[in-house]
């Protein structure tokens, strides 16, 4: 049986999780190209 | 723990914009960097606009709370805190660190911008990775097609100490791909010419040289002693007890991470190893070979190499060395990657777990005797 653990995140981290969600894009959602590419 | 910036500012490389429905895109359109933030109330967008390097976090939170009636100060502070932890924000109040000269700030200004875009770890200042490079010591073993590009790149990016090793002399047939040599250098030792040339590329790094040939695993173990990373760009000896196996064992024993690369015709490869983080070369290689149909001869030999296959190989190794030093991006030790220049877009990445009986990956439990 898995051990149950109670976690106590610091207040600002706990609040961050509730307030804002930053979702990294999947590869399929990006084009992989940048029309501003340059070669200086 | 969240790093607290004194004057948060959105990195110019990650400039956000708003999409339909209140979603914010930040970090452009690059996989691994770009992200989206659901922001129906507009709190996050307002916070990002205030993060222009002219307000401290408390002021930003206060201004947000005053602007949005349904946003208490504690939640506004949490929004600000979350954004500062995201990696898209820098500290406009950060001073240039000691440890780099005015000339180095200028020299590495583009590298700084590169790292600022790729690195999503909140940092005290955006010269941290450059300082890591400056404080690092690397060995480049083999200064031919792959190694000449590696040595040049490590000098250019500012690895603090670079030891160049090769026993060979420069020949005319080297000049189709080996970037550090000219016709005037034919007949000279590669180690001497390479060391002199990269010293002139960057006189702020320390360059040493050795004309020695590595004869066995013990030689290689002595070579890497005291260094932070090895770039293995030599391809001899070959066979079952080849120089990659020596590197795998010597570096595992010494705790020195390494990257190695080369080419077989149009197939350019690069591997990164740092056991016990990820599998060692011998484990990954054995499991890659096991995937092949039995009886297939893979190493067809031949001298086929050209400027760009050598250059890509060397730059992949150089990038791996830099990622091993800085952690940016994740070097993913225990990985082989390949680029097939015969078919556009044919790239491959192969990872495998450590084998249970491997002495490199499990040094405390294996009984293999290497004496």
> Do the Cβ atoms of B154 and B178 come closer than 8 Å?
no
pLDDT tens-digit profile of B203-235? 999 999 999 999 999 999 999 999 999 999 998
Considering CB atoms only, which of B28, B36, B78 is closest to A12? Answer: B78
Residue B66: other Cβ atoms inside 10 A? 11
- In DSSP terms, B24 is beta-bridged to B18, B37
Please state the ipTM of this predicted complex.
Answer: 0.78
- What value does the mean pLDDT of chain B take? 94
**Beta-carbon contacts below 8 Å between A and B:** 62
Residues of B with CB under 8 A from a CB of A: 1-2, 26, 28-32, 34-38, 44, 74-75, 77-79, 81-83, 85-86
Q: Environment class of residue B13 by beta-carbon count within 10 Å: exposed (0-12), middle (13-18) or buried (19+)?
A: middle
In the structure, what pLDDT confidence band is assigned to residue A34 with cuts at 50, 70 and 90? low
Q: Environment class of residue B363 by beta-carbon count within 10 Å: exposed (0-12), middle (13-18) or buried (19+)?
A: middle
> Do the Cβ atoms of B248 and B329 come closer than 8 Å?
no
Residues in chain B within 8 Å Cβ distance of A19: 75, 78-79, 82
pLDDT tens-digit profile of B28-87? 999 999 999 999 999 999 999 999 999 999 999 999 999 999 999 999 999 999 999 999
Closest approach of chain A CAs to the CA of B113, in angstroms?
Answer: 14
Across the interface, whether the CB atoms of B44 and A21 are under 8 A apart is answered: no
The span from the CA of B141 to the CA of B135, in Å, is: 20
State the pLDDT at residue B287: 94
Nearest to B154 by CA among B67, B47, B233: B233
Q: Environment class of residue B340 by beta-carbon count within 10 Å: exposed (0-12), middle (13-18) or buried (19+)?
A: middle
State the pLDDT at residue B289: 87
Residues in chain A within 8 Å Cβ distance of B36: 22-23, 25
Cα-Cα-Cα-Cα dihedral sign, residues B180, B329, B88, B33: positive
The span from the CA of B264 to the CA of B73, in Å, is: 61
**Residue B351 dihedral angles phi and psi, to the nearest 5°:** -125, 150
Across the interface, whether the CB atoms of A30 and B74 are under 8 A apart is answered: no
State the pLDDT at residue B241: 82
Nearest to B65 by CA among B74, B56, B54, B57: B74
Q: Residue B89 in 3-state DSSP?
A: strand
pLDDT tens-digit profile of B281-328? 999 999 998 888 888 776 666 679 999 999 999 999 999 999 999 999
Across the interface, whether the CB atoms of A24 and B32 are under 8 A apart is answered: yes
The span from the CA of B333 to the CA of B190, in Å, is: 30
Cis peptide before B237 (omega within 30 of 0): yes
**Residue A22 dihedral angles phi and psi, to the nearest 5°:** -100, 110
| Lowest-confidence region among B167-176, B201-210, B300-309, B352-361 | B300-309
Residues A1-28, mean pLDDT to the nearest whole number: 62
Across the interface, whether the CB atoms of B75 and A12 are under 8 A apart is answered: no
Residues in chain A within 8 Å Cβ distance of B81: 12, 15-16
């Amino acid at each position: 049986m898995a051990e149950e653990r109670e976690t106590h995140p610091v207040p600002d981290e706990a609040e961050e999780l509730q307030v804002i969600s930053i979702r990294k894009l999947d590869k399929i959602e990006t084009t992989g190209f940048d029309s501003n590419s340059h070669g200086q | 723990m969240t790093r607290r910036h004194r004057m948060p500012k959105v990195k110019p490389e990650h400039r956000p914009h708003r999409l339909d429905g209140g979603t914010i895109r930040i970090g452009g359109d690059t996989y691994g960097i770009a992200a989206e933030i659901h922001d129906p109330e507009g709190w996050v967008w307002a916070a990002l606009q205030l993060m222009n390097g002219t307000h401290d976090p408390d002021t930003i939170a206060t201004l947000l709370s005053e602007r949005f009636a349904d946003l208490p100060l504690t939640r506004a502070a949490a929004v600000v805190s979350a954004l500062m932890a995201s990696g898209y924000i820098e500290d406009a109040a950060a001073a240039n660190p000691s440890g780099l000269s005015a000339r180095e700030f200028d020299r590495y200004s583009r590298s700084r911008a590169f790292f600022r875009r790729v690195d999503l770890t909140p940092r005290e200042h955006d010269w941290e990775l450059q300082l890591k490079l400056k404080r690092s010591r690397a060995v480049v073993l083999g200064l031919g097609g792959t190694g000449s590009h590696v040595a040049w790149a490590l000098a250019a990016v500012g690895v603090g100490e670079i030891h160049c090793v090769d026993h060979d002399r420069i020949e005319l047939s080297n000049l189709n791909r080996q970037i550090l040599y000219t016709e005037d250098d034919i007949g000279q030792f590669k180690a001497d010419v390479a060391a002199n040339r990269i010293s002139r590329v960057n006189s702020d790094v320390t360059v040493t040289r050795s004309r020695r040939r590595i004869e066995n695993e013990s030689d290689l173990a002595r070579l890497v002693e005291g260094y932070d990373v090895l770039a293995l760009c030599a391809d001899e000896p070959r066979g079952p007890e080849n120089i990659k196996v020596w590197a795998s064992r010597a570096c595992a024993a010494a705790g020195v991470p390494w990257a190695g690369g080369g080419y077989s015709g149009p197939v350019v490869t690069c591997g990164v190893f740092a056991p016990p983080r990820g599998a060692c070369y011998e484990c990954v290689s054995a499991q890659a070979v096991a995937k092949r149909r039995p009886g297939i001869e893979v190493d067809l030999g031949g001298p086929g190499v050209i400027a760009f296959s050598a250059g890509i190989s060397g730059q992949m190794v150089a990038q791996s060395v830099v990622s091993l030093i800085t952690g940016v991006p994740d070097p993913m030790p225990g990985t082989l990657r390949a680029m097939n220049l015969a078919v556009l877009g044919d790239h491959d990445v192969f990872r495998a777990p450590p084998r249970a009986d491997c002495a490199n990956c499990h040094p405390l439990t294996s009984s293999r005797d290497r004496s």
